[in-house]
Structures are given as structure tokens and as C-alpha cells.
A and B are shown apart, each in its own frame.
Chain A
């Protein structure tokens, strides 16, 4: 039997009218359409966030570029005009923050706006060196600056043994790494320390051991902070000048030493110096301050010493000198000392040498 083929006819055969030619502005390309979907959809993605930027004025363009990449990534790209506007807002905040302290940050906060874009605001947070060290005290294991006194300092102190009475001034005494050993050796030491917790620690140790130490919680650069005039045989400022802002502050320190030292008295300090022939640019100078490694050139030092009754009598790299002379168990003084003293907190060159180093400078008061 032949199967019966039944044709079902439903209505008229399918009628395919010719497709109208696509209008030139109708998009059918799926990749393009997907982009279009996302472009519309971005207004539904709400992004908020905070970017903390160290206040370095020279980095303003770098920061604007970085932020603009964030805006692209979150689908809210800024126009050239908006970026220019951002720069104009960011710049004074970076400058104000940096002027107040190299430890300041600028905070960039953004959040969704009513219209699907973002709104942002920029502010700065000023933090002082004292604030920074307070954090060290709260979060790090002592000794914060090492357990041994600087060997160069002990050598210089010994060179004064012909004097009947040796009064020593320790500027930026920290936790007393130099103050306490010097006092134990019999010198009378005045310790100046700006961070209150450190000053209290020295005071407590001095009292407990009945050492000839007077502690002053003060900033050597403060206008009302004056030393007994023509009184000290030796003043030391170890790891202090690396916190300074400029050569004017160094000059003020040296001038005050001229007032406090008696004729023939010695001033030992260490500072980062650019190697001869290397001239740090503005960005490098700002970044050196931010990284606790303020860099000075030979011209800066000469400016700071100009016309003062002070002569530079000796100079050497701190790292090499202390490495040779400190007992083996005391080396390195801290986990950070090697990188810091060799300029690597500023320039990350792990295999090469940076164009700066921490140096001891020894001066004599005329």
C-alpha cells in the first residue's frame, strides 16, 4: 500500500517580501551592538572609591594620567577638558600638602553622580614626622634605630679628651641610641627630640640609670629653641638632616650650632649627598623628602655654611664607615638601614649604585 501523502496547507504559501535595504544609520553589527549595550549599561554600574596619593607636586601629570586610566576602566572616561579641570584642582592640593609636610597625602574620592557620571572631591591630609614615628612606636619592634651608638660619634667624642669638661648636644636623639651610651661613658648630654614618645623613653632610661642627661622635647629649628651659647664641645645630628626640607633649614641648623658650640667645638652630622656631577631635578628633590632621604648637593652644603664660623674638616660615607667599625652582631643597624643609607628608598636600583649616599660631615667651630 502506498502511503498516503497528505499535504497540509495552511493558508497561503509563505510570502517573503524583499527585505527593505537597511537604512544607513541602523546598526546590525553584533560586536558594535554589544559595545553599544555596554555603553548604555555603564550608566547602571555605580563605582565609588578612594585613591591616596603622596603629596608630590611634580607628579601632578602622572597622577592625572593614572586617574584618567581609572576613569576609563570604570567606564567613565573624562574629556580633555575634564582632565584639565582635575589637574587644576589637584595641583594646589598637592602643593599645599607638600608645603606643610613631605608626609602629607592627597585623597581623591569619587562616587556616582545623579546623571550616571561620577563626582569627585580632592582633599589633603597633613601628617608630621612626629605622627609617622608615633606609628613606628605602635607597630614596630624596638630598637627602631638600631642598638649601637654610631662609631664615628664615639671616635669624635674621644678626640676631645684633652678638654676638662665635655658637654654634648644630641639633636634628634630618637630613642637615645647615642645619648644613653654617651652618658654611660660619663659625658653630660643634652638630648633634643621632637617626638614626645621618644623624649619620654630617654627621660625614663636616664632616670632609671641616673645618667647625666637633660631631655628637651623640642624641634631644633623652632624659633624659640635656643641653646646655651658657646657651651657645647660636641653636637651631633645623626639621621636628622634627612628629614629637612631645604638648604635654608640646614643653614639654620648650622648657624644654631655656631651659637651653641664653644670655639673649637665639633659638629658631627650625616646627610644624603648627591655624588659630584649629579644634579637632582625638582622631582627627585621632592621625592627625596617624601622618602625620608632629603638630598643635598655640594653647592647646597656650601650655601648652608657660607660665612658661618664653621669649617668642614672631615667627610666620609656612613655606610662603609659604620660597617667596618660596628661589631659584627650590630650590623646592619636595622632592617631598613642598607637600602636607606644607599639611596634605594628613593631610587629602586637593587643591583646598581644610586647617585647619592649618606655621609658623615664633621665641622669645627672657629
Chain B
């Protein structure tokens, strides 16, 4: 894992001091809210429906146990005893006091954490594959490049005031576990003739105008990657629209000028940028890369697990994934208990996960964009012990990628932008499909709920998606089918007229019933949908 050097620590500490002064000036009346708002947003502090909300950055979703414990401590000391893990691999606290915010940031800084660039029209937290460093199918650890991009983008003077927010994702495997092509820039590290480089996709995103990023460069060598990304940003910064917030994302620029013209301009800019020496010297790259070296795995670790406990066996099949190191496994901890709040964890649960990481996962945790937590390096011999501890903490729901593993944004219960509630709907759907056998029979089914068109709940990318809208002052829910954020990326299509809260739960059940009636051997829901199309499902829903 990356450890701060003196420069990292100095800039984070300086930012805490600066923000403490800004808060004091706001509280004393030296600054108006209009003056203060952009400053607090630069430090991840929003004013939401009920209170201030603080979004803390978790770079590429990677944490150690000390950092995780700090997140629990903040939940306990400054919030109401819990935190909300987000679809951007970050964590949010819903009940923060402005007067406490500087102290919170100061405490975060002691464990190399901050809230910088978790809001505003800048380059946001770089996202990545939660299985990085553990996945058998990766060509390299993508976090090395994610960290490089983090350092390059932090306080980048040219990209602090972009036309709109900007999200970058780096993966290094063919299996896309991070919705890479739904980012402003998505990079897939690949090897060509023994040379490491990246495929570069630009102009993806969700929101009110969802788009899948087209490939702009099929291969740029790793040595040139940073320069190429800078060129991509420069063209956007120059031509992206600043006159209309709804047309300001890079996806709109690509749509308007076309991928070919955008590519031409980027290639031209790339030549100019390359001469500037943006890419890191080898020694600096090697310094960063060394911090992501594989942990000291036990080469003699025994493979094979005693499956005699049936509940454990179910969890093993659902929430434990293969590891590239023999004798180890990747554990995904579901934060989706039936009837619970997707992505929420209490301070005590956060502490339990930190302890398990410290003892059984080489001190590492990951936050996933699906709002779950990963222990990336668990010896197979320790899996039963880990499962027992998770069970005791209410964290052993065996539902990864099943219909109750729902992504949901905070929705109208917390968010000032939302039009409809997401969490109660997620709770109702999970409760309707609570039967574990029924869920497993349905198989992989990714259900995603957003409480407004901004799509923080990734509804466009759900096999089944739900979008909450305001219909004459009443919550209404549109249903979408056929989306995917994985390597088989696609955007969901709206089924037809929307529903009230109970109505959409019924409609989802009619969709799953039709799937069960139609599916061929081995087909997931998404496969069946793609084979038979929307019509049979519309017929099931609307008659």
C-alpha cells in the first residue's frame, strides 16, 4: 500500500490548517455562504437535507486497518455511529457539524486520509478494481497507475476548475469489476508483445445523459500513459462547455465533435505534452510501484476448505473469490443485510472489518463501487474463522451479486438533489426476495437504484435499474432493464410508465418471474434479456 512521503503529508496538513481558518471565518461572519460554499466543497463538505455531509476520499478504494479504524472513530465521535460507503469507493458521513469539520480532517490527516477533491469540478478520486493485486487475470496491479494519477491530479493547477467533475478509472484485467467504461476516462492496462500499456476509453458516464466510453487509443505504452491522459484532459479543458452544466461533461464534447475529431486533437496535444516531461522518472515510478509489491504470502499455504458447515459453504460459494496466490482467497463482505441500508456500516462493524484485515488480510481492505468491502488476501485456512467473526458482527450476508446486493444512492432520505427515496425501496425489494434459495436460483442479478437523474446509484448499469423521479410532487419509479457496468457494458432501457414504491417492487417480481420462465440453461438474467429482448418483460409488467 502507498505510504505518504513528506510532500503528501505536508500538503494534507496545510489543507487542514487552511480549511480551519476558512471555517472560522465563515462562523465569524467574515465570509458569506456564497463565498464559503466552493471552499467547503473543495474539502468534501456538502450541506445536505438534514445536516452537513462529509465525503472522505478512499484512493482507489484501498485502506489499511489503521485508516479503517479511523473511519469508525469518526463515525462514533462526530456522526451518529455509522458511515455510508459510496459507489465511488469513498465513505460519507451524514450528520457532520460544520464546527467539527476541521477537527475531523485533522484526525484523518494523522492516518494519511483527507477529503480533498471529493467534490467540485476537478479530477475526483481515482477508482479501480477492488481485486487489484489479488486477481489472477490482471496483467499488473492497476493501483500503481491509480496512485500515479492521484499524485498528478492532486491540486493540479490546470485541472482544478474544469468545465465539470472528472472521473478516472484504471483496471488491469479483462473482467471489469469497476465499471471502467462508464467513467470520463477509463484505462485498461494490457500487455502487447511483452510491453505494458493501456487501452484508453474517453467520454463514458451515467447521469442524465448516459454514454459508454469509446476507445480513443488502443494502446499507449505505460511510459507515456500520464502524458496521454494529460492530453485528453487538455482538449476537454479547452473545448468542454462551461455555459451549460448539463452539457459540460466530456462525454458531451465527444458526442458533439465525434470520437475521431477528439482523438485527432488529443494525438496532436499528446506530442506537445510529451515534450514537457510529465511522465515520472523511473526511480519515482519504481518507488511508488514498490509500495504495491505483493504481501509476503505463505508459499506453503494449504489449499482447500472444510465445507461441512452448510451456512459457511453457502457464503463460501457466494462471497469468496479465487486469488492468484495458491492457498489464498478474496473475501467480499456484503454491506447489504436483508432490510438494511445498502453501504452503511456501524462504527463497531467498521472496527470488526479493520481487525479482520489486520489479522487475516495483510492489513488491507478495499471499498467496492457496489458498496461492499473486500478483504483481498485471506488464507483459505482462515476463511472459517473470518466467516464466524463476520457472522457475529452481522456482516456475513451471502448475497454478493444477487438481487439483494443492491446498489442504492442515499436518495431523498439524505440528499438535497434527490427526487425520490432509494433506501426504503432497496429495503422493500431485498425483503421481498429475502429467501436465500430464491435469490440463488435467480443467480447473478445486479439491481441498482438512483433517487434522481444524476445516477449516483448507477441505475443505467443495472441488469435491473430503478430511477426515482418527482411526478407532480409524488415519488415515482421508472424501471430499466438490460444495463451492465461490467466488460459486457450496456445501458438499460426504460420499460414504460413508472410506478409507486409498492408498484415497482411488484413489477420487479414480474420481471424475475418471466426470466425464470424464459431462461435457457446457464443463462443469467442479463443473458436472457439480451436473447429475448424487452417485449416479453413489458408484457409481464404491463399485461
Decide whether A and B are members of one complex: no
